Amino acid sequence: MLHDKVVIVSGVGPGLGRAVAVGSARAGADVVLAARSRTILEEVAAEVEQAGRKAVVVPADITDPAAADHLVQSAVDTFGRVDVLVNNAFAVPPLVPLVEMDPAAVHAEMDTDVFGALRLTQLAAGHLAATGGSIVMVSSVAARLSRPGFGAYKMTKGALISLAQTLAAELGPRGVRVNVVVPGSIWAAPLRQYYDHLANQRGVTTEEIYEETAANLDLRRLPEAAEVANAVLFLASDLARAITGQCLDVNGGEYHH
């Protein structure tokens, strides 16, 4: 689906970011990997190269304008083009009620999730226009629901959806598509570790925690990282060339939108 494309992925970690990067390589793309941790970047780069594609590792804090500029420029300097930008970076917000939260904490969350994505989009827009490229934002089920303690996360992931829709209208005339993937719970290393923690607290097994959650999904199982990544790759590819300004929810039927 992405033969000879160049894909920038921000927020590469052990879960969805890794799956998007490796999936892009298996779909035929060269990949520019960005995150704060060089260790995880090098591990994912090795997987990209095992899939037969090139990987460029760029340790970067996208809240830093200079680092964001270096990321995009590294892609252009290495490959001469940018075809896809996947804005997957996010910061973990404090899980406290909004009425008790320091507004500065919300600002820090927005700086990564929303302004970081906007900054990378601004830097990449001209290159994407030159290739008829696409942007995929990664939001969250938190944007759809109102759960105690998740107010800051809902604010930022909801704002990311609004950002994508506005960018779709602005960049569409230049041939650039902008869409959003909205995952629910993703069965990958970070969630496994959290379920292990919950299981220890409650004196039950991790499998029991999983089954409790999965019972609320139509498919009775949690989507895996590679399955969510497939939705990202679809929206990034020419298979979705008539789709822009849309949200694709990938949640195993946890809710219907």
Exactly one of 24, 140, 185, 237 is catalytic; name it. 140
> 93 pLDDT exceeds 80?
no
pLDDT attached to residue 150: 85
Shared-domain flag, residues 212 and 91: no
Pairing of strands 30-35, 6-9: parallel
pLDDT attached to residue 58: 97
CATH of the domain at 109: 3.40.50.720
| 194 is annotated as an active-site residue | no
Q: Average pLDDT, whole number, for the chain? A: 94
Per-residue pLDDT tens over the stretch 36-84:
989 999 999 999 999 999 999 999 999 999 999 999 999 999 999 999 9
pLDDT attached to residue 14: 87
Q: How confident is the model at residue 104 (pLDDT cuts 50, 70, 90)?
A: confident
Shared-domain flag, residues 31 and 125: yes
Shared-domain flag, residues 155 and 198: no
Residue 46: inside a domain, yes or no?
Answer: yes
Counting the structural domains of the chain, the total is 2
Shared-domain flag, residues 235 and 208: no
pLDDT attached to residue 54: 98
Shared-domain flag, residues 179 and 196: no
Instruction: Determine the Cα–Cα distance for residues 18 and 26; give it in Å rounded to an integer.
Output: 12
Exactly one of 24, 134, 139, 153 is catalytic; name it. 153
Residue 257: inside a domain, yes or no?
Answer: no
| 210 is annotated as an active-site residue | no
Q: What percent of the chain has pLDDT over 90?
A: 81
Judged by average pLDDT, the poorest of 23-27, 165-169, 186-190 is: 186-190
State mean pLDDT over 73-99.
92
As a dihedral over the C-alpha atoms of residue 95, residue 253, residue 26, residue 118, rounded to 10 degrees, the angle is -40
Per-residue pLDDT tens over the stretch 122-153:
999 999 999 999 999 999 988 898 888 888 88
pTM of the prediction? 0.94
Query: Which three-class secondary structure state does DSSP give residue 215?
Result: coil
State mean pLDDT over 241-253.
96
Q: How confident is the model at residue 120 (pLDDT cuts 50, 70, 90)?
A: very high
Q: Which residues span the domain enclosing 38? A: 6-186+224-250
Residues β-bridged to residue 84? 7, 134
Exactly one of 157, 185, 195, 237 is catalytic; name it. 157
Per-residue pLDDT tens over the stretch 171-194:
999 999 999 999 998 998 888 888
- Report which of residues 180 and 92 the model is more confident about: 180
pLDDT attached to residue 102: 86
Q: Cα 35 to the chain's mean position, in Å?
A: 12
Residue 255: inside a domain, yes or no?
Answer: no
Residue 23: inside a domain, yes or no?
Answer: yes
Shared-domain flag, residues 90 and 47: yes
Shared-domain flag, residues 207 and 144: no
Q: For the residues of 20-64, what is the DSSP string, one character each?
A: HHHHHHHTT-EEEEEES-HHHHHHHHHHHHHTT--EEEEE--TTS
| 140 is annotated as an active-site residue | yes
Residues β-bridged to residue 7? 31, 84
- Contact present, 210 and 195 (Cβ < 8 Å): yes
